[in-house]
Amino acid sequence: MKNEINIGLLGYGVVGSGVATILHNHQEDLRHKLGVPVSIKKVVVKDLEKKRNGVISKEMFTTSLDEVLNDPEIDLVVEVMGGTSAAQEAIRRSLEAGKGVVTANKDVMAESGPELLKLADENKCDLLYEASVGGGIPLIRTLEDGLASDRITALTGIVNGTTNFILTKMKHENKTYEDALAEATELGFAEADPSADVDGIDAARKMVILASLSFSTEVRLDDVFVRGMKEIKDGDLQLAEQFGYTIKMAGSARKDEEGIEVAVEPVFFPNSHPLATVNNEFNAVYVYGDAVGETMFYGPGAGSMPTATSVTGDVVAACRNLLLGVNGKRLHAPQYERKVKSDDQKYARYFHRITVRDEVGVLTELTSIYSHHKASLATVVQDSELHEEGADLIFITHKISRQQHLDILQDLKDTPTVIDISSHYRVEGE
Amino acid sequence: MKNEINIGLLGYGVVGSGVATILHNHQEDLRHKLGVPVSIKKVVVKDLEKKRNGVISKEMFTTSLDEVLNDPEIDLVVEVMGGTSAAQEAIRRSLEAGKGVVTANKDVMAESGPELLKLADENKCDLLYEASVGGGIPLIRTLEDGLASDRITALTGIVNGTTNFILTKMKHENKTYEDALAEATELGFAEADPSADVDGIDAARKMVILASLSFSTEVRLDDVFVRGMKEIKDGDLQLAEQFGYTIKMAGSARKDEEGIEVAVEPVFFPNSHPLATVNNEFNAVYVYGDAVGETMFYGPGAGSMPTATSVTGDVVAACRNLLLGVNGKRLHAPQYERKVKSDDQKYARYFHRITVRDEVGVLTELTSIYSHHKASLATVVQDSELHEEGADLIFITHKISRQQHLDILQDLKDTPTVIDISSHYRVEGE
């Protein structure tokens, strides 16, 4: 058995330096847990001249990835450099060099997860990626451990901190979208270009990672139905509250005999649902397992120390596997063939807000469209407050297929008394 | 290195048979994870004649614990027999025989945890107890992993499913305590004698386990301040709702330089707090860590399959340690000396509901008691609805010490215009 484990660290930014600090501060504990010492041997950075504080001595820094790849004493590579193509390439080459990899890179894992995991298996290496989803929340590990003794049937989660922060400020402090976004940017919760967050792409990447793992099947980014938060119209948050709901940007994934469905969209959650009270930059994922039932994991979705904590957890797991000689035995190959549901196989409740001309018989006209499409209604409300140009009608359906929902919206649009489909949402729950 | 791992299972009830089923159904996966096969070799039961279904063949059952203890091929004992003294004895003897132990027994772990963990260390054995708290929620493992790279400063949680079920039914279905308890009993969520649950003792045991582990210090059952749910008076749930709160039976544990405080009591949670929406028989624990910040873990607090899933997770962990030769290296010895806070070191907000004679000047008289004790008030409300014999005054304080709270209650009691201290609660939050 090995008598020590050496790590090559790629990147020394906020997460990388956090990982180095944790490994340094807890070295005694790690030696006790694993039976051998674990230490960082080399750190690959872009610029050697940059001033750096921390626990890594100057001579350990290098600009050459090859120095790590060609060092037979380095067993494990920790990729926290960020970005996409260079990081993907570094992970690929590390695995080909027979080194286990721990990464925090959700972009790479969502884009190239299946190929990289296959490559890891072929090279008998671990590829662990806990920190790629949900920052400090131990989600991937829990799903993997759960999978060993349970079958995951569905996931629903708030996996993007930026949009959740914006929605919280809009709801609880009556801020406009623009003001809330500005505050998120100022606090470092939103990027200079927030489009990946607000358009739902970041969340979609995370759902690809979670769904692939949970359902042991290939899930592509294209398989995810995505609606950004711009679909949330003025007054919708308050309207939702009137009906006892909170709007959240949520990811959802479900699997049954017919296939999988994965979506990221603004969703109406009943105020009594645990996800309705997940506020600010926090993340939370609800997991449904056959044996365990409902579980939820909540915590900070990002941040230096939470993310570094997750990376370190993966390092410990990878070291254990190396020492046991069971590295690269995670059985990554998807167990099930990719089978994506069509719109007439996806069932949910829907909320429709329709602006109509305030004419006699309009309600009958509209409800007959729902009947025609065999959609049964749970709630029908005519909003007393008139717009300049008409009245608002609210419909909440019982469960219907997404195809029924789309057909109804099309027929409503084609109705002369309908001025506008102001907004529509999926409603969580039975 | 060992080339197989054999288990002795103590008890074959709902949890035990679940464990056997999971180990049987997932044997291929376990062999891949660990590199060696894992199987149950003997099952100790009270009555050999009882008809049993499941994956264990008849000749593997025995009534003799010694058969397990004296079998050198058995590496690991799984105790799911329940009860206290016999189970405690079986765990002790297993550890003395040099066998690792996995247990789901919260009573034994709360009573004798420190001695048994010490004994485990002395015998270089693991003693794992994930299933003793929070059923299917991977709490202990998360806290232990978290501890390797973080410092836990506080925990707040709903750790008793019975009381949470009763409170949910009382709040959302307006049931009386008696009716809600009857329903809990019928559904199997409450024992025939529910006193350990409703009086808070079950929750106190779980908080002892969680606090000892999180703070690495000795915590005794006597250190836990316990108020049962009988302290919740008629109308309090509705009154809480009027002020934007939900009452939950909650455990809390906190550690700072002055020491630790652990309590189980009915608490006012703001409706926006994630624990306020944890309903029915579900459990959830909020964990505050220095590095990770706030995390929460939610799930079924009990039940056969959730609990069996947790036990199996521990079995996998214990097998890993055995194979690595790092069994019994968890450093169980408490790192910090036991130091329990006194009442003037415990700070919280409090809700007081006082029934008074409806006389001129009574409000001034009572608020002067708060001023006298230097307690600042966040909310003062005189309930418009008169009782037969008086009016209700509501006070919500800013943070005060528990000693101030007790002194104020005493002075209020001694005031002639005060008819009764109807109820009082700790209020969660700053």
pLDDT at A407 over 70: yes
Q: Which of B307, B273, B333 is nearest to B115 (CA)?
A: B333
In a domain, A335, yes or no: no
Give yes or no: residues A358 and A406 share one domain. Answer: yes
Give yes or no: residues B146 and B125 share one domain. Answer: no
Lowest-confidence pick of A173-187, B71-85, B137-151, B357-371: B137-151
Instruction: Give bridge partners of residue B217 from the DSSP assignment.
Output: B336
Q: Annotated binding residue at B191?
A: yes
CA pair distance A234, B382, nearest whole angstrom: 38
pLDDT at A331 over 60: no
Give yes or no: residues B102 and B147 share one domain. Answer: no
Range of the domain at A403: 344-427
Give yes or no: residues A268 and A355 share one domain. Answer: no
- Considering CB atoms only, which of A292, A325, A330 is closest to B300? A292
**Which CATH number goes with the domain that contains B387?**
3.30.70.260
Question: Would you call B292 and A278 a contact, using CB atoms and an 8 Å cutoff?
Answer: no
Record the tokens describing residue B29, joined without a space: 């996966």
Predicted confidence band at A334 (pLDDT cuts at 50, 70, 90)?
A: confident
Give yes or no: residues B229 and B290 share one domain. Answer: yes
Give yes or no: residues B318 and B352 share one domain. Answer: no
**Best of A21, A292, A307, A329 to mutate (most B CBs within 10 Å, chain B):** A292
Question: Would you call B329 and A278 a contact, using CB atoms and an 8 Å cutoff?
Answer: no
Predicted confidence band at A332 (pLDDT cuts at 50, 70, 90)?
A: low
Between A191 and A3, the more confident residue is A3
CA pair distance B77, B10, nearest whole angstrom: 7
Give yes or no: residues B167 and B265 share one domain. Answer: yes
In a domain, B81, yes or no: yes
Give yes or no: residues A128 and A154 share one domain. Answer: no
Percent of chain A with pLDDT over 90: 73
Predicted confidence band at A293 (pLDDT cuts at 50, 70, 90)?
A: confident
- Considering CB atoms only, which of B291, B325, B331 is closest to A306? B291
Question: Would you call B149 and A309 a contact, using CB atoms and an 8 Å cutoff?
Answer: yes
pLDDT, position A142: 83
Domain C-terminal end among B265, B290, B324: B324
**Mean pLDDT over residues A113-140, rounded?**
92
Lowest-confidence pick of A162-176, A360-374, A382-396, B173-187: A382-396
pLDDT, position B388: 66
In a domain, A423, yes or no: yes
Size of interface A-B (CB pairs under 8 A): 163
Catalytic residue from among B41, B99, B169, B206: B206
Q: Which of B143, B130, B146 is nearest to B318 (CA)?
A: B130
In a domain, A333, yes or no: no
**Which CATH number goes with the domain that contains A78?**
3.40.50.720
In a domain, A251, yes or no: yes
pLDDT at A386 over 70: no
Write the pLDDT tens digit of every residue in B28-74.
878 877 889 999 999 999 999 888 877 899 999 999 999 999 999 99
Predicted confidence band at A90 (pLDDT cuts at 50, 70, 90)?
A: very high
In a domain, A11, yes or no: yes
| Distance linking the first and last C-alpha atoms of chain A | 53
- Considering CB atoms only, which of B137, B150, B276 is closest to A295? B137
From A134, which residue of chain B is nearest by alpha-carbon distance?
B295
B233 Cα to chain A: minimum distance (Å): 24
The kind and range of the H/E element at A289 are strand A282-289
List of chain B residues whose C-beta atoms are within 8 Å of the C-beta of residue A131: none
**Mean pLDDT over residues A68-74, rounded?**
97
List of chain B residues whose C-beta atoms are within 8 Å of the C-beta of residue A305: 291-292
The mean predicted confidence, pLDDT, of chain B is 91
Q: Annotated binding residue at B11?
A: yes
Place of tokens 């649950």: B197
From B27, which residue of chain A is nearest by alpha-carbon distance?
A148
pLDDT, position B413: 96
CA pair distance A383, A401, nearest whole angstrom: 26
Domain C-terminal end among A300, A335, A352: A300
pLDDT at B229 over 60: yes
Give yes or no: residues B152 and B86 share one domain. Answer: no
Active-site residue numbers of A? 206
pLDDT at B337 over 60: yes
What does A216-261 look like in DSSP terms, one character per residue?
TB---GGGEEE--GGG--TTHHHHHHHTTEEEEEEEEEEEETTEEE
**Which CATH number goes with the domain that contains B220?**
3.30.360.10
In a domain, B330, yes or no: no
Return the number of other C-beta atoms located less than 10 Å from residue A41's C-beta: 18
**Mean pLDDT over residues A156-172, rounded?**
96
In a domain, B384, yes or no: yes
Predicted confidence band at A148 (pLDDT cuts at 50, 70, 90)?
A: low
Question: Would you call A297 and B293 a contact, using CB atoms and an 8 Å cutoff?
Answer: no
Question: Would you call B32 and A306 a contact, using CB atoms and an 8 Å cutoff?
Answer: no
**Mean pLDDT over residues B373-378, rounded?**
96
**Best of B141, B142, B292, B316 to mutate (most A CBs within 10 Å, chain A):** B292
A142 Cα to chain B: minimum distance (Å): 8
Lowest-confidence pick of B99-108, B165-174, B203-212, B271-280: B271-280
**Mean pLDDT over residues B216-239, rounded?**
94
Three-state DSSP string of chain B: CCCCEEEEEECCCHHHHHHHHHHHHCHHHHHHHHCCCEEEEEEECCCCCCCCCCCCCHHHEECCHHHHHCCCCEEEEEECCCCCHHHHHHHHHHHHCCCEEEECCHHHHHHHHHHHHHHHHHCCCCEECHHHCCCCCCHHHHHHHHHCCCCEEEEEEECCHHHHHHHHHHHHCCCCHHHHHHHHHHCCCCCCCCHHHHCCHHHHHHHHHHHHHHHCECCCHHHEEECCHHHCCCCHHHHHHHCCEEEEEEEEEEEECCEEEEEEEEEEEECCCHHHHCCCCEEEEEEEECCCEEEEEEEECCCHHHHHHHHHHHHHHHHHHHHHCCCCCCCCCCCECCCECCHHHCEEEEEEEEEECCCCCHHHHHHHHHHHCCCCEEEEEECCCCCCCCEEEEEEECCEEHHHHHHHHHHHHCCCCEEEEEEEEEECCC
**Mean pLDDT over residues A391-398, rounded?**
94
Give yes or no: residues A285 and A314 share one domain. Answer: no
Q: Annotated binding residue at B418?
A: no
Question: Would you call B297 and A294 a contact, using CB atoms and an 8 Å cutoff?
Answer: no
Give yes or no: residues B253 and B371 share one domain. Answer: no
A290 Cα to chain B: minimum distance (Å): 9
Q: How many domains does chain A have?
A: 3
Give yes or no: residues A117 and A65 share one domain. Answer: yes
The kind and range of the H/E element at A139 are helix A139-147
ipTM above 0.85, yes or no: no
Helix axes B402-413, B362-372, angle to 10 degrees: 150
| Residue A57 to residues A30, A43, A54, A60, A66, Cα–Cα distance (Å) | 20, 10, 8, 6, 20
Percent of chain B with pLDDT over 90: 73
Question: Would you call A299 and B293 a contact, using CB atoms and an 8 Å cutoff?
Answer: yes
Q: Which of B80, B266, B59 is nearest to B160 (CA)?
A: B266
